[in-house]
Structure 1
Amino acid sequence: MTSRRTGGELVGRVPAPVLFVGSGLAQYIGAAIAVGLFAVAGAPETGWLRILAAALVLLAWRRPWRLTWTSAALRGAAVFGLVLTGMNIAFYLAIAHLPLGLAVAIEFAGPVAVAAITGGVRERWGGLLAAVGVAVLSTATLSGMTSAGEPEVVVLDVRTVGSSPRAVEDVLAEHSTEIAAELAAQQSAAVQGLAWILVAAALWAGYVVLGRRV
């Protein structure tokens, strides 16, 4: 008679790189869809909906009520759940202000740092190369965000009055407050997004460490 394999046994037979790629696809395809929901629900609300959906799936799959729980196991699961929830909420708050590709690249710094610290020489070199890549991408993207150009109203006004230097100076002087406000808003959004994605990266690092123990 063939014995039934549990879900954990089946997952254990899948190569780790396949699981990593699959989890990344699920995470960031979902994030790309979630960005479109921000106009209907805010970033925190969208993040909570995702956590709730994941919790329902895990409850149906693992059926934890059939297990015997110790107080230590309950504490570990609670901390793990809080870290996972915080990581997702922080990530959604970040992508409300940053391009998705940039946020993904920076967030991966968390698990890469764990691998570099706990791994060998190859992992450390890989972490260094990843850090350089993230730094280059972050600098280029943030620079583009904070120098995106003049507000559309200014461009339209310049086209209307002509392109003579005097006319351009008059329009820029008239709308200087609007230009300054928009540039300040862009810079503020970039800083907020960067702060939230660094929080998400740190929590992802904690998630990786806790995942080895829970």
Structure 2
Amino acid sequence: MNRPSTTVVAPTLMIVGATSMYVGAAIAVVLFDTLSPSAVAWLRIAGAAVALVAWARPGAAAWHRSRLLLAGSFGLITAAMNIAFYEALARLPLGTTVALEFLGPVAVAAVGSRTRRDVAALLLAVVGVILIADVHWAGTPGGVLLALTAAACWAGYIVLGKRVARRGSGIEDLATGFVVAAVLTSPLALGLGPAFADDAPTTRLLVAGLAVGIASTAIPYALDQVVLARVGQARFALLLALLPVTACIVGAVALGQIPRPVEAIGIVAVAAAVAVRSSDDPDPEPAEFGGR
């Protein structure tokens, strides 16, 4: 049986994290005018690494090989997810990319479904995301492959993220993991060349990159660790459907973009999915945040 605090707090933290993520996405628009998608993705990874290390200040134990192996794997698969998603966006419509990437969480939620209620919640979430995303099946085969790669990495992010959360040192491992990811993907930094051109506002671009790392990665992924420590990975995967819902709400509040009737139906479907799944969570007993 779910604790009331978990039922309310988990979706709330997901919405807060999603809001931060979309603020970062708005900042990233500035960078796409000058830098390649993979260069922006690397700035996001490196910016998150700097912010998380400054915040968590991981001790010597966090850098030990036994801990660093899992943390580094988690950081790398998260980096790969971001890079593949940005590259897919350069080749596919946003709605198509979002829908294809969401197949990752759908797979995790499907594997963790145990009851008819679970299946009903999953179907509602899938329908809701498709309606909200405004899917247009257009683009290149390469873009589809990149979006599916991002989907696979998102599934890996959930599974490895749950393992990191269970160790009870999620924020520290998040910090060291992103350091590993930033170092191993550093060849992508070669794409930052345009930022150092004579007519480029170098400082503004690099500060914007750090801001993207904080808003789009450090804050939402840290909140993910808090949620993953409290719920099973299947329920967490379903909660990720709240991301496009949050995007709609942010667009309505900040930009006056009132959701169309189809999008409104999608929002209701996702909300119903979260409510149905939250009322019956058969995932393995979650580890407490700060526990083992």
Question: What range is the shorter-chain TM-score in?
Answer: 0.5 to 0.7
- Deviation of residue 198 (structure 1)? 1.1
Residue 211 of structure 1 is matched in structure 2 by 161
Structure 1: gaps (5+ residues): 1-11, 146-186
CA distance in 2, matches of 1:126, 1:107: 19
- Kindly indicate whether the alpha-carbon contact (under 8 Å) linking 1:107 and 1:198 is maintained by their aligned counterparts in 2: yes
Superposed CA offset, 1:105-154 (max 9, x none): 33222123212211332333332344456667889512xx4xxxxxxxxx
Counterpart of 1:127 (choices 122, 128, 132) is 122
Residue 24 of structure 1 is matched in structure 2 by 18
RMSD: 2.7
CA distance in 2, matches of 1:102, 1:36: 22
Q: Which stretch of the first structure deviates more once superposed, 85-94 or 60-69?
A: 60-69
- In our comparison, the structure showing a higher alpha carbon Rg is 1
Q: Which stretch of the first structure deviates more once superposed, 17-26 or 199-208?
A: 17-26
TM-aligned CA distance change 1:29 to 1:68, over 3 Å: closer
Confirm or deny that 1:199 pairs with 2:199. Answer: no
Higher RCO (CA 8 Å, separation ≥ 6 residues):
2
TM-aligned CA distance change 1:50 to 1:140, over 3 Å: closer
So what's the TM-score if we normalise by structure 2? 0.47
- Kindly indicate whether the alpha-carbon contact (under 8 Å) linking 1:106 and 1:134 is maintained by their aligned counterparts in 2: no
- Identity of aligned pairs, percent? 47
- Kindly indicate whether the alpha-carbon contact (under 8 Å) linking 1:44 and 1:89 is maintained by their aligned counterparts in 2: yes
- Kindly indicate whether the alpha-carbon contact (under 8 Å) linking 1:117 and 1:124 is maintained by their aligned counterparts in 2: no
CA distance in 2, matches of 1:24, 1:127: 20
Residue 174 of structure 1 is matched in structure 2 by none
- Kindly indicate whether the alpha-carbon contact (under 8 Å) linking 2:95 and 2:134 is maintained by their aligned counterparts in 1: no
So what's the TM-score if we normalise by structure 1? 0.63
TM-aligned CA distance change 1:140 to 1:15, over 3 Å: closer
Matched pairs, number:
157
TM-aligned CA distance change 1:102 to 1:23, over 3 Å: farther
- Deviation of residue 61 (structure 1)? 1.2
Residue 90 of structure 2 is matched in structure 1 by 96
Counterpart of 1:79 (choices 70, 73, 77) is 73
